[in-house]
Structure 1
């Protein structure tokens, strides 16, 4: 039996990783919420949308199992964006209710907090698989060409590129994702695996926006991942692709009493430079 080893990233009680669960529980149960936006993302496409701070957005499986690849930016400064690897270290490799999605350096603050997850009960399956994955990242045409020698144009990376272009962003702004509804793990060879998505019609993952957000979601062209995408048995998974739904809600202001958007990391980035070195050289002369 493998012994359980303690997590590397820990914090003292009352520190930055503590979450006011009662606050997020009230948001998840709130009956007084106004739906201000709702749309459906067709198969093999993506869409971007904004979520104001203090609002909630929900991703839903409309017709059945379907994986979605999520990117998030600060809507006011897209240099700040979701940092999947640090979120994996601070929270978990697979996220659920009360986990937070953290932003990159030098900002390092929660962009969103998960308030509701209908797949939270999935737990760990017989293969070690869990849902809402941060181990892997988006499918892309570059890796596909690397593995197969062929071009295949239906990938989450490409979907996200098209979705953010109208918002002034480019391929260089697309980043590692949260694989919503995706079941993954590491096998005995320490290699990444993907299993059939366990979501059913109407399942959802819901987030509270801690700051003003720009989000983009791709309905993965791999669909529910029940079809091998690479290797000798690979085939086009078109027939297992389904749409995804997105809903945005405005909350009763009374629910937000005492809450305020988190501030960016207090470290101001001198990185050990002396006054005569680095970008501060000559300042004030």
Structure 2
């Protein structure tokens, strides 16, 4: 734990050092932009083709062809979901929450993209609609749909509580991926990765810097919508924390199902669109 008071006296120029202006690490002016006008027009033609219900404290997988849309719906009560995404043709290409955070910020909304890891480093999906975009950042510094939390997991839970609990989102996603692919659980677990915390309201405490969660503002009827830039395999866990207003990794919270809806645009609605190519770096690393 951090000491209550600094152990090192402030230098005489402390105020000047603190006053130095920040610099954005990754200026994104040259970042390839999604064609949101095209996506908005395609949204007007969407027709549902399938759906998956994710039970409380469980996870389920779903498939989304490239060029389709999918929505994560709050259906019965406020519920947070932990989302993993893979390129369906190569599960080694998966969502990279850290780089997504570095490019778009701590919380995602319409127009932001979910990037895959190295070496492809390309968009897997683009957020095309968010019924919680009105929330913004609250007085505590909290916002929704974060890429700062990792996912609740049984290892941290055991470390902090000494208890064995098997419905943490990490375990839920592992079971779902194993069931969907036939991979042994140990292999599936290695493919589970840091998540987009859908509907979760989070931030950092200003005094200690600790990651916090608070009751999600999501309500039945809300949804977060994505455009699939690649053929996707997704997995969504209905977090055992419910709305994450009190705790997670337990059976105490009220939990509700989530619904994943897959939608197809009309033929020709995406004329001119092509899946993003893998990153152009030559991979030589100077050797």
Question: Structure 2 length as normaliser, TM-score?
Answer: 0.88
Equivalence map 1:58-207=2 (5 Å): 58-165=71-178, 166-169=180-183, 170-188=188-206, 189-207=208-226
SS of residue matched to 1:22: helix
Following superposition, the deviation at residue 18 of structure 1 comes to 2.5
The corresponding residue for 1:248 is 262
Distance in 1 (alpha carbons) for counterparts of 2:33 and 2:286: 29
The residue number in structure 2 matching 1:278 is none
Aligned length: 263
Farther-moved stretch of structure 1 (250-259 vs 66-75): 250-259
- Is residue 8 of structure 1 aligned with residue 25 of structure 2? yes
Residue-by-residue CA offset, 1:12-58 (whole Å, 9 max, x unaligned): 4xx33433221222234x1x222111121110111001100000000
Query: Contact 1:27–1:115 (CA<8 Å) still a contact in 2?
Result: no
1:24, 1:98 within 8 Å by CA — same for their partners in 2?
A: no
Alpha-carbon distance in 2 for matches of 1:21, 1:210: 13
Deviation of residue 223 (structure 1)?
0.7
Query: Aligned with 2:47: secondary structure?
Result: strand
Q: SS of 2:156's equivalent?
A: helix
Q: Does 1:226 align with 2:245?
A: yes
Deviation of residue 168 (structure 1)? 4.0
Confirm or deny: 8 A CA contact 1:111 1:209 kept in the other structure: yes
CA contact (8 A) 2:116 2:122 kept: yes
* Matched ranges for 1:28-47 at <5 A: 28=43, 30=44, 32-47=45-60
Secondary structure of 1:120's partner? Answer: coil
Match of 2:15 in 1: none
Cα deviation, 1:116-143, whole Å, max 9, x if unaligned, reads 0000000111211000011111101100
* Residue of structure 2 equivalent to 1:276: none
Comparing 209-218 with 160-169, greater Cα deviation is found at 160-169
Deviation at 1:4, TM superposition (A): 7.3
Q: Tell whether the 8 Å contact from 1:99 to 1:113 is kept in structure 2 after alignment.
A: yes
For 1:5 and 1:248, the matched residues in 2 are separated by 41
Secondary structure at the counterpart of residue 51 of structure 2: strand
Match of 1:121, SS?
coil
Q: Summarize the Cα distance change of 1:6–1:255 in structure 2 as closer, same or farther, 3 Å threshold.
A: farther
Secondary structure, counterpart of 1:57 in structure 2: strand
Deviation at 1:6, TM superposition (A): 4.3
Distance 2:182 2:153 in 1: 21
Gaps of 5+ in 1: 274-285
| Cα deviation, residue 3, structure 1 | 9.1
TM-score by length of 1: 0.88
User: Could you tell me which of 39, 50, 57 is aligned with 1:24?
Assistant: 39
Per-residue deviation, 1:81: 0.3
